[in-house]
Structure 1
Amino acid sequence: MIHIYFKKPPTKDKYIYGDRFILSILRRLLRGKKTSGVEKVFTNLCKSFDKIGISYRKNSDFAEIKSTDQIIVLGTGKLALEGYKQPNKIIAGIALMNHPLEWPNLTTEYPIAKYLQHSDWAQDIYIPYYGEKIADTWFSGIDTDLWKPLEKNKKTEILIYNKIRWNSSFWNENLRHPILNFLTENKISFKEIVYGSYKESEYKALLGECKGMIFLCEHESQGFACCEAMANNVPILAWNQGYCLDPNFINWNDGKPLPATSIPFFHSRCGSSFIDFKDFEGKITKFLKGLNENAYNPREYIFENLTLAKSGKRMIEIINEVYNTEL
């Protein structure tokens, strides 16, 4: 039996004892239920196994694990493995930590056989610490039944997806604001959505209204929002400056540049990318022309590479390798 685990760190009180419960209710009432990217990895793995007919159990007690069972742990932080005393090998990831230096003894503290990342650039960070045999890649599948084109007349040219996370004042001044000004001055209609501040239904509705999307994010290990837009057959013009800009990663890497990408799953059928605003000016006209001529087909790319079924089959390959079995 395959056991899949996902545990979130407990919510802490913010102002007074017990207010975490009240604040949680208020947030849900104001914003609706939201699923984090890490939780979506867990949810979509379950969907992937459902799609290919693989049985599994979710979050069972560690004491119920049998010697022949296979273990996948996709939780957040050290709490995810707290209390695990079984000898069964573990397939772990995607976000037990932000960087391997936060948990350098993970593979000696627990029987970790694989530590997974979604893409090659993220995996490269873990190889020096855990080794090539343990550090591996597995992509999370996209639910193409949930994320699909809406049959409606699209009146807005561009949706701007704003996921700028670090040094926002600099990037607003040197990237986002110039892009907004360019679109306004050239009478290119647009709407903007900000990461972390919307309901999933709002994002889906905007994807149905807009012909293409400008994706502003420093880097992604997979990029759910980008992939979900592509599943909706919305082409992407992505900011892809080429390096990790997370200040913590820069410190962990002794100040050395760390190659990264905002579009680890991408193809010319999906759209295009740009390095900075000057490059954006040189790419936007061609991108808009491609939108109007239906030159892109990102949904086709998703079907070829990132479906739930393909994700589930890749995980089965990993399980078979780790446990020397044939599922």
Structure 2
Amino acid sequence: MNKPLNIFYEEPDPDRWLPFDRYPRKLIRRVVRGKTRPGGVMMVALNLMQGLDKLRVPYRFNDYRHIKKHPEETACIIGKPHVLFEHEWKNPIVFGAGVFPHPSLQPDLLERFPNIKKILVPGPWMKEMFEPFYGDIVAGWPTGIDTDKWSPVSPVVEKKCDFLIYDKIFWERDKYVPELLEPVIATLEAGKLSYQILRYGYYNPPDLKNALDQCKAAIFLSASETQGFAYQQMLSANVPVLAWDRGGYWQDPSYYPVIKFGPVSSVPYWDERCGLKFDGINNFETQLGAFVEGIANNKFSPRHYILENLTLEKCAGEYLRIVARVEQS
């Protein structure tokens, strides 16, 4: 593909009190809070563009003037959804992977936007959730992981800590801290295994890389992930993961139990090289023992899985193939 892609991505930032007050509010936020921390959808866009840079593929970014003048060209609308809804699009559209959480929010999407040719979602279980609404135009597409940034620490460095506990428990936290997190900690302490904890949303971006440089393995506690940047960054750093993967229904309290979809996964991209899983505290101790033994026997090679499947270049290349198929259809 020689011609530039037309990529669109924006965060919603509506006026709050006065017309156009979003502009001074943005400046004030930058001064008070510092540089914006990229969220999940922003990482999809940034990592795609970084992958395209590595492949030397040109692209335009948020060039609304160009796309309006060239309705025959494909609009690659990463997200967020307001970018689709708030502009007039005459172009063929590849929409995603920064889409809305559930298709019931937009059941008439394809009637309103018949020029959507492909809907991308971050992973396989989300693809199954969207397909009954939108059919075979739904595809699973993960964005890539920066394997240069998330690289293993030098082998000459001795890691002092046994485990990083990555705490991403935010649904029913009052239930799962005493029923899951605290028993996990107690089991490690009983086995005289050292640990440190990072809680999702309560650490600075460099803290995860620093922790991975210090810890031999990770315990990943998340009810479900559409892609799972954090655990994939761990894998890229060659840190094997013991993942809580309870399966069952998607239990986002904004939708569940009115909407029941399952099974979901906390580690949707995975094979035996990545580590082991447990489905609850009842089999945690058994799986922990097998996991520790596997580490001692060099059973796991998580970085190889990422290099084989989820690099910036591989995922950007797959995006290019998706767009090419749309343009050939």
CA distance in 1, matches of 2:261, 2:67: 45
1:319 corresponds to which of 320, 323, 327: 323
Deviation for aligned residue 1:168 = 0.5
Residues 13 and 156 of structure 1, relative CA distance in 2, 3 Å threshold: farther
How do residues 171-320 of structure 1 correspond to structure 2 at under 5 angstroms?
171-243=176-248, 244-253=250-259, 256-320=260-324
What is the 5 A alignment of 1:1-327?
1-10=4-13, 20-21=25-26, 22-23=28-29, 25-28=31-34, 33-62=36-65, 64-65=67-68, 66-77=70-81, 79-110=82-113, 111-132=115-136, 134-151=137-154, 152-243=157-248, 244-253=250-259, 256-324=260-328
Kindly indicate whether the alpha-carbon contact (under 8 Å) linking 1:250 and 1:258 is maintained by their aligned counterparts in 2. Answer: no
Q: CA deviation at 1:93?
A: 1.3
Q: Is the 2:126–2:226 contact (alpha carbons within 8 Å) kept by the matching residues of 1? A: yes
Distance 2:49 2:261 in 1: 36
With the length of structure 2 as denominator, give the TM-score of the two structures.
Answer: 0.90
| Percent identity for Structure 1 against Structure 2 | 32
Q: Distance in 2 between matches of 1:269 and 1:158?
A: 18
Deviation at 1:295, TM superposition (A): 2.0
TM-score with structure 1 length normalisation?
Answer: 0.91
Q: How many residues align?
A: 316
Residue 88 of structure 1 deviates from its aligned partner by 1.2
- Unmatched 5+ residue regions in structure 2? none
Once residues 54 and 199 of structure 1 are traced to their aligned partners in structure 2, the CA distance between those partners, rounded to angstroms, is 32
User: Does the CA contact (< 8 Å) of 2:5 and 2:58 recur in 1?
Assistant: yes
* Contact 2:220–2:244 (CA under 8 A) maintained in structure 1: yes
Q: Deviation of residue 59 (structure 1)? A: 1.0
Distance in 1, Cα, partners of 2:64 & 2:163: 47
Moved over 3 A (4+): 11-14, 17-25, 62-65
Q: Say if 1:182 and 1:91 are closer, same or farther in 2 by CA, change over 3 A.
A: same
1:103-146 Cα offsets, whole Å, 9 max, x none, are 222222222111111221101111111112x1111111111111
Task: Give distance in 2, aligned partners of 1:73 and 1:150.
Answer: 36
Stretch of structure 1 that moved more, 305-314 or 81-90: 81-90
